[in-house]
Chains A and B, each alone.
Chain A
Amino acid sequence: MSELKQVRKIALTGDEAVAYAAKQADVDVIAAYPITPQTIIVERLSKYVADGELNAAFIQAESEHSAISICLGAALAGARTFTSTASQGLALMHEVLHIASSMRAPIVMAIANRALNSPLNIHCDHSDVMNARDTGWVHLFANNVQQAYDLTLMAFKIAEDPELLLPVSVNLDGFILTHSVEPLEVLSDEDIQRYIPHIPYPYRIDFDRPLAYGVMALPDTYMEFRRQLYEVIAKAYEVFRDASESFSNISGRLYNLITPYFVEDAEIIVVALGSTVETLRYIARKFRERNVKIGVVGLTMYRPFPEKEIANTLANAKCVAVMDRAYSYGGVGGPLYTDILSTLYKNGIRTMVADFVYGLGGRDFKLMDAEELFNKLVKSVEVGRFGQDIYWWGVRE
């Protein structure tokens, strides 16, 4: 008989859940720029520190560029390091994001996904993280508040794995998750300490064992160092699986690189990131009741891209719809769409596929919008083709 474990269920916003996870992870250094576009995540953490509930250095920086630079130094000094930001803040960090990954600094950062200016907008979309897509960070996406909490804890396990030592971002949809109260199961501090014990960073700054950091590498060696990054980020698949398995032992919740839902016999598969995955799942269940063979795939890990898993899942689909909450202006489509297209082509899968750009700047993607989209997909399958390759879904024409 399996042992019944008592679970503690509380109600928190996404922001509070992430802050609570960082507190339970017993972080050593938090650096953040405290005003807009900052979230309640660091506000809660500063309170934990001020109230003596968390023994950490909380450093207020004069900009996000400085905040992430402080995190870089702290991580290399061997501190467990956390920060959070959103939209313009992430954009201002951009230069140092590349440096953090290529210097192998295991920073954990929560990103409350929000639109980029202009026009000025603080609401949800994925433009901010897509701008940071190719920086060598591991990018995780939460579908709900529970996942935001869980993935924050897993992010420390993944980032600090001696095989990996890379920064990890935990993405949660701005406002939709950051400001919504949801019930979630939280773990005990003891379980978390056992899950993510403080292990010394192997290359930490140490006066007795001095190393040179961030050195110059000219054309004769630079490419070899970039190749190292190419090789090391590929280890994140296995590191994620290990972190996930040991996490499931304490939580009972097992995370996979992708979350396939009703895909086994699906003719239509919709691919998405973030909270929209849950909206799509709800409507997919309704359509399944009407025997429409429709499925949904969410990506828990977006970088490195779970190409094998996506290819296996989409191999037999007649129709693939990709949901992009960001766009690559002047490109061939949204960022997720181009990733999916490449995956299909590389794996010899020929199927009808279209990009659905939606929800920019916080435009709601409601249940009825998902229903309308699914009806459109069903009709397109009947016709055997999409009318166009890129749709701006919900835009006023």
Chain B
Amino acid sequence: MTEIDVNKIIKGEFSWKTLPPAAMVKVPTSLEYKTGVWRIEKPIIDQSKCTKCLLCWIYCPDMAVKRIDGGSVEIDYEFCKGCGICAEVCPPKAIKMVEE
């Protein structure tokens, strides 16, 4: 079976011999590929300002905004790439982008 260790790829610890033939890889890879490392700025939610409108949850292109108990949201930093769309669409400006 063609297994691939994404973290080894990122670190450059592979050769043509260890890569799966023709790049046929086991899916889903997107769950294993922690795209959070791409981030330069990180969204911080001020829960006291949040109106639970869920616009950020709808707009997040990576499903990195998660709904939590109580109807509010939190950021999944393992996958959030820091694009800032959530902060942009937030009507009460409850999300701030902060440098990592």
Is A bound to B? yes
Which A residues contact B (CB, under 8 angstroms)?
Answer: 102-104, 165, 203, 209-215, 217, 220-221, 224-225, 227-228, 231-232
How far, in whole Å, are A220 and B14 apart by their CA atoms in the complex?
10
How far, in whole Å, are A150 and B19 apart by their CA atoms in the complex?
35
Q: Which of B1, B2, B24, B28 has the most CB of A within 10 A?
A: B24
Residues of chain A within 8 A (CB-CB) of B1 are 209
Asked if A228 and B25 make an inter-chain contact with CB atoms under 8 angstroms apart, the answer reads: no
Contact partner of B2 among A203, A224, A227, A231, CB < 8 A? A203
Contact partner of B9 among A104, A209, A220, CB < 8 A? A220
Asked if A103 and B22 make an inter-chain contact with CB atoms under 8 angstroms apart, the answer reads: yes
Shortest CB-to-CB span from A213 to chain B, Å, is: 6
Shortest CB-to-CB span from B96 to chain A, Å, is: 32
Asked if A220 and B12 make an inter-chain contact with CB atoms under 8 angstroms apart, the answer reads: yes
How far, in whole Å, are A283 and B9 apart by their CA atoms in the complex?
59
Closest chain B residue to A225 by CB distance? Answer: B23
Main secondary structure, interface of A, reads loop
Residues of chain A within 8 A (CB-CB) of B9 are 220-221
Number of B interface residues at 8 Å Cβ cutoff, please give it: 17
Given contact pairs A102-B22, A104-B21, A228-B22, A211 touches B2 in the complex (Cβ within 8 A): yes
Asked if A217 and B23 make an inter-chain contact with CB atoms under 8 angstroms apart, the answer reads: yes
Closest chain B residue to A231 by CB distance? Answer: B16
Q: Which of B9, B16, B26 has the most CB of A within 10 A?
A: B16
Contact partner of B22 among A104, A210, A227, A231, CB < 8 A? A104
Residues of chain A within 8 A (CB-CB) of B26 are 210-212
Asked if B24 and A203 make an inter-chain contact with CB atoms under 8 angstroms apart, the answer reads: yes
How far, in whole Å, are A130 and B12 apart by their CA atoms in the complex?
37
Residues of chain B within 8 A (CB-CB) of A227 are 16
Residues of chain B within 8 A (CB-CB) of A231 are 16
Contact partner of B19 among A103, A211, A225, A232, CB < 8 A? A225
How far, in whole Å, are A71 and B20 apart by their CA atoms in the complex?
22
Closest chain A residue to B18 by CB distance? Answer: A224
Asked if B19 and A210 make an inter-chain contact with CB atoms under 8 angstroms apart, the answer reads: no
The reply on B48 being an interface residue by CB < 8 A is: no
Asked if B21 and A211 make an inter-chain contact with CB atoms under 8 angstroms apart, the answer reads: no
**14 contacts across the A-B interface (CB closer than 8 A):** A165-B21, A203-B21, A209-B1, A211-B27, A212-B29, A213-B24, A215-B23, A217-B23, A220-B12, A221-B19, A224-B15, A224-B16, A224-B19, A228-B21
Given contacts A215-B23, A217-B23, A225-B22, 9 further A-B contacts (CB under 8 A): A103-B24, A210-B26, A213-B22, A215-B25, A220-B9, A221-B14, A224-B14, A225-B16, A228-B16
How far, in whole Å, are A102 and B20 apart by their CA atoms in the complex?
12
How far, in whole Å, are A232 and B16 apart by their CA atoms in the complex?
11
Closest chain B residue to A214 by CB distance? Answer: B23
Residues of chain A within 8 A (CB-CB) of B19 are 221, 224-225, 228
Closest chain A residue to B25 by CB distance? Answer: A212
Closest chain A residue to B29 by CB distance? Answer: A212
Closest chain B residue to A102 by CB distance? Answer: B22
Closest chain B residue to A210 by CB distance? Answer: B27
Contact partner of B27 among A212, A224, A225, CB < 8 A? A212
Residues of chain A within 8 A (CB-CB) of B15 are 224
Closest chain B residue to A223 by CB distance? Answer: B16
Shortest CB-to-CB span from B37 to chain A, Å, is: 14
Residues of chain B within 8 A (CB-CB) of A165 are 21
Residues of B6-63 at the interface with A, using a CB-CB cut-off of 8 Å, are 9, 12, 14-16, 19, 21-29
Residues of chain B within 8 A (CB-CB) of A220 are 9, 12
How far, in whole Å, are A224 and B17 apart by their CA atoms in the complex?
8
Q: Which of B9, B15, B22, B28 has the most CB of A within 10 A?
A: B22
User: Sorted from nearest, which 6 A-B pairs have the closest CB atoms?
Assistant: A224-B16, A227-B16, A104-B22, A210-B27, A215-B23, A203-B24
